[in-house]
Structure 1
Amino acid sequence: MTHSSLRSHLAIVPLLAALVLAGCASAPTAEPSALPTIPAAYKEGDGRWTVAPPAEAQPRGAWWKAFSDPVLDELAERAGRNNTSIAQAAARLAQAKALLRSTDADRSVQVGVGAGVARQGGGVANAAGTAGTLASAGANLSYEVDLFGRLSKASRAASLDASSREALLQSTRLLVQSNVAQTYFALRALDNERSLVRDTVAAYADTLRLTESRFRAGDVAELDVVRVRTEVAATQSEALALERRRAELEHALAVLIGELPANFAVAEIDWAGPPPAVPPGLPSSLLARRPDVSAAQSAMLAAQARVGVAQTAWFPSVALTASGGYASPELGDLFKWSARAWGVGALLSLPLFDGGRREAGVQGASAQLDGAAASYREQVLVAFKDVEDQLSSLRLLGAQADVQAQAVASASRATVLSDSRYRNGLVSQLELLDARRREASNRREALQVRAAQYQATVGLIRALGGGWGTAHGASGVVQTRLVMQ
């Protein structure tokens, strides 16, 4: 074997070794112990709720229409168009998609054209030592052969990043819409509470007029008048505090829909009735449609792909190049057939020593994968917690509402009896005032329980990743349903 032949054989040894290593290498996957164990059913709900198959790509629909409130419908749609958080999430998604297109471009053939004119002189330029002109025009072509999957893994990672951003956009939209609904229902509950306090002020004012009349007649002492005046003033102070709180909620709602608070107002209307009932067979979209869980999963898979990208740094890169065009010392002869020039080439590069840079890159990518897997696990656990929280809240709030309704009925009857006995002089004023305070307190408590039911219903919808619908698609909501056990 000649020396040149030996050198040619030795030259391909690194390439053959790299090919063998590439066949054995693969990106690591997340440890099974790092991922959450999915239960067969939720603890709350009497075992009727099970986990649905993945459906994160399904649209969420106008889930707020289940509340049958035209004002809420309009606010939710305006928030979807104008909310700044949604606009920011949409911009981040556009950036991720642009990065994906840029990454995919590295896998394509790169073509460029160029032309130039150079003037050269001196002994180095030509043997005669005179100046000369060289004109050139041509095209260049280059292509990197993705032997070890570096480009494809990078493209997959960028694609998963874009999917994560898309899921985060869905999550932001759902969060904003649920915040709009919860703020709106808090405002409506506050309107009802204000109305209740106004009625209480009117009742105290009526009692004050009666007490002042009896005081002038000498039937009661001045102390009775002062007591009622105290109740009237204290209740009026509560009414002013509720006015301040309502203004704050209205301003917060304006920001959520992307408008100036000065140009926004919600008219006070009668708000009655319970929230929509949670139907049996509700869509269990906890892991199927929750966009934040989907985003965490895509981020974990992207981190896994980037470990593979880091591993390919150990393998050689192969680039193919080609060029073709014309070169001539005379500009008029530039495009003649005799002035043609061309060239093809292949370049293989393999780093041998880098001070541990490649190993550090692999270790860093592996650490990012571990962090992404932990984040995904946490997101899944939080998702299950959210659903369990809202289910238990709805169950207990339903029982509390029934008991509180009984308390309101009893307190109302006690007020009627005390008022009659006071007007007939059978009981003192203290008994009547105490009865009125108890009735007002119980009515406000009942109102707060109903408001909490609305808040928990919206919270459950958000925890499930969207609303529910009937078998015929009412309200345009997704139709994934639970399997009843």
Structure 2
Amino acid sequence: MKILFKSKFLLLGMVALSLQSCFVAKEYKRPQDVAPPKDLYRTDELPQDSINMAEVSWKEMFTDPVLETYIEKGLQNNLDVRIAIQQILAAEAYVKQGKAGYLPTLSITGQVTHQELSNNSQLGSFLNGTNDQYEILGNLSWEADIWGKIRSNKRAFEASYLQSVAAHQAVKTRLISNIATNYYQLLALDEQRRITETTIENRQKGLETTQALKEAGNVTEVGVKQTEAQLYTAKAILIDINNEIRLLENSLSILLGEAPQNIQRGELDDQKITTNMEVGVPMQLLKNRPDLIAAEYNLINAFELTNVARSNFYPSLRLTATGGFQSIDIDKLFDVNSLFATLVGSLTEPIFNGRKIRTQYEVAQSQKEQAALNFEKSLLTAGKEVSDALYNYKANTDKIDVKSMEFRAYSDATGYSEELLKNGYANYLEVLTARENALNSQLDLVNARFNQLKAVVDLYRALGGGWR
């Protein structure tokens, strides 16, 4: 009988192994409706080819040594980056769990049972009212992956892990972009502060000149007060600039993973980005942009979990073995006669279970569709960000030229009007207007230079640069 039972058990095992090739699980294929269209970018100015600035390392992209130091420090200390690393470690643990799904489970249990029995019962009268039993059990169980459930679970865990890796890369890309943008903005504010301080000095001297002209009868007290008001306007602008600098230094310090502090930096005129503005082709976004990579891995994870939910409709084949030592006398627990073993092969098909399996499958299908839509949305957003950065760069490059000519015109107008005023040929209101326009134009010119640098950084990030 033992030989016959073993033969049947081995036959059941062979059948289980042969059925593993009959997978119900489907293979993932990228949906056609999320493939990047050729016109994803609005590139009116730049040609599209295979060259892509996103493939340039950030160390080559940013040439300011101070900025490079801050980026390096941020990548090491930033808390968001460190959180993302912990998420990778957690996902890696699930990957190991998925790989172990093919292996049998084994557990060992030690158990002592004491029973107080009725003396009037059949068993109680035989055992004098008490019963003690000692057991050491080993349980071995293995489920055949007939429908690909275990394989799909494994792939889902792997996709989740790769999604966390891509998310970590996306955090690095955003961090580098934010550090560079904040750094350039600080340089722009420094330049605006220098301009404003120079303006305050000139207006202080202008106020003294206006008071002298009033004493000479060339201007009225109204002119003096208007000059004085312009001086206070410049001082108020300086207060706002200094406040913005402090707040921006605090923000950059947090990005570096440090407490708010003073930020050492270079000058705006020294910033040179020599990397060519090459955007490549839209298909490259799927391998360069970490957020798109993460979105697709999220879709793969949802797809594989749909396979898992589908496999629950089919019967599961499980092989179970239980064995160990069992004795009513602890001294004889490890005796040969205390050995026992049970071998079970089971095939389970769900029939009625309160619609749980159907619900799980429908939810999984819905989540897969959501993941596909999020993937498509992320792709369209990426195309918009690339297009926006290109247009911002072109607009601010043109604006720099226009604002430079505007400032020169206002500067000349200021000089001419002041000269005419001294000779009594100009209205003092013209002088005040020319001065105010010259200051605003110069501040706008600095903003345009900053926005041009920011557009390059935005384009670099939008194309997926920075994480390499």
**Could you tell me which residue of structure 1 aligns to residue 364 of structure 2?**
365
**Greater mean deviation of Cα atoms: 71-80 or 377-386:** 71-80
**Could you tell me which residue of structure 2 aligns to residue 256 of structure 1?**
255
**Could you tell me which residue of structure 1 aligns to residue 80 of structure 2?**
85
> For the structure 1 residues 188 and 64, does the alpha-carbon distance in structure 2 shift closer, same or farther, using more than 3 Å as the test?
farther
Aligned AA (1:76): I
Work out which of the residue numbers 107, 110, 115 in structure 2 matches 1:112.
Answer: 107
Q: CA deviation at 1:182?
A: 1.2
> For the structure 1 residues 354 and 330, does the alpha-carbon distance in structure 2 shift closer, same or farther, using more than 3 Å as the test?
closer
> For the structure 1 residues 309 and 41, does the alpha-carbon distance in structure 2 shift closer, same or farther, using more than 3 Å as the test?
closer
**Could you tell me which residue of structure 2 aligns to residue 481 of structure 1?**
none
- 2:233 is the counterpart of 1:234: yes
Q: CA deviation at 1:83?
A: 2.4
TM-score scaled to structure 2, two decimals? 0.85
**Could you tell me which residue of structure 1 aligns to residue 212 of structure 2?**
213
Aligned AA (2:99): D
Aligned AA (1:108): L
**Could you tell me which residue of structure 1 aligns to residue 3 of structure 2?**
none
CA distance in structure 2 between the partners assigned to 1:31 and 1:168 by the alignment: 20
Asked if 2 retains the 8 angstrom alpha-carbon contact of 1:86 and 1:172, the reply is yes
Aligned AA (1:91): Q
Aligned AA (2:127): G
- 2:156 is the counterpart of 1:157: yes
Asked if 1 retains the 8 angstrom alpha-carbon contact of 2:386 and 2:463, the reply is yes
Aligned AA (1:128): F
**Could you tell me which residue of structure 2 aligns to residue 129 of structure 1?**
127
**Could you tell me which residue of structure 2 aligns to residue 473 of structure 1?**
none
Runs (5+) with no aligned partner, structure 2 = 1-7
**Greater mean deviation of Cα atoms: 133-142 or 25-34:** 25-34
CA distance in structure 2 between the partners assigned to 1:109 and 1:450 by the alignment: 65
Q: CA deviation at 1:461?
A: 1.1
CA distance in structure 2 between the partners assigned to 1:91 and 1:237 by the alignment: 46
CA distance in structure 2 between the partners assigned to 1:180 and 1:68 by the alignment: 14
Q: CA deviation at 1:293?
A: 0.4
**Could you tell me which residue of structure 2 aligns to residue 66 of structure 1?**
61
Residue 269 of structure 2 aligns to a residue whose secondary structure is coil
CA RMSD across the alignment: 3.1
Residue-by-residue CA offset, 1:395-431 (whole Å, 9 max, x unaligned) = 2222221222222233333333333333444434333
**Greater mean deviation of Cα atoms: 293-302 or 130-139:** 130-139
**Could you tell me which residue of structure 2 aligns to residue 279 of structure 1?**
276
Q: CA deviation at 1:51?
A: 6.1
Asked if 1 retains the 8 angstrom alpha-carbon contact of 2:23 and 2:147, the reply is no
> For the structure 1 residues 74 and 99, does the alpha-carbon distance in structure 2 shift closer, same or farther, using more than 3 Å as the test?
same
Asked if 1 retains the 8 angstrom alpha-carbon contact of 2:413 and 2:434, the reply is yes
Q: CA deviation at 1:304?
A: 0.9
> For the structure 1 residues 243 and 437, does the alpha-carbon distance in structure 2 shift closer, same or farther, using more than 3 Å as the test?
same
CA distance in structure 2 between the partners assigned to 1:371 and 1:51 by the alignment: 32
**Greater mean deviation of Cα atoms: 44-53 or 350-359:** 44-53
Asked if 2 retains the 8 angstrom alpha-carbon contact of 1:143 and 1:319, the reply is yes
**Could you tell me which residue of structure 2 aligns to residue 189 of structure 1?**
188
- 2:95 is the counterpart of 1:95: no
Residue 230 of structure 1 aligns to a residue whose secondary structure is helix
> For the structure 1 residues 28 and 368, does the alpha-carbon distance in structure 2 shift closer, same or farther, using more than 3 Å as the test?
farther
Asked if 1 retains the 8 angstrom alpha-carbon contact of 2:91 and 2:161, the reply is yes
Aligned AA (1:135): Y
Residue-by-residue CA offset, 1:255-310 (whole Å, 9 max, x unaligned) = 2222222xx11246532145414415556542221011011101111111111111
Count residues with an aligned counterpart.
447
Q: CA deviation at 1:115?
A: 2.9
CA distance in structure 1 between the partners assigned to 2:58 and 2:30 by the alignment: 37
- 2:70 is the counterpart of 1:75: yes
Asked if 2 retains the 8 angstrom alpha-carbon contact of 1:41 and 1:47, the reply is no
> For the structure 1 residues 280 and 162, does the alpha-carbon distance in structure 2 shift closer, same or farther, using more than 3 Å as the test?
same
**Greater mean deviation of Cα atoms: 386-395 or 357-366:** 357-366
**Greater mean deviation of Cα atoms: 281-290 or 386-395:** 281-290
Q: CA deviation at 1:197?
A: 1.2
Residue 287 of structure 2 aligns to a residue whose secondary structure is coil
Q: CA deviation at 1:235?
A: 1.4
Asked if 2 retains the 8 angstrom alpha-carbon contact of 1:42 and 1:50, the reply is no
**Could you tell me which residue of structure 1 aligns to residue 338 of structure 2?**
339
Residue-by-residue CA offset, 1:75-102 (whole Å, 9 max, x unaligned) = 2223223323223333333332223333
TM-score scaled to structure 1, two decimals? 0.83
Q: CA deviation at 1:246?
A: 1.8
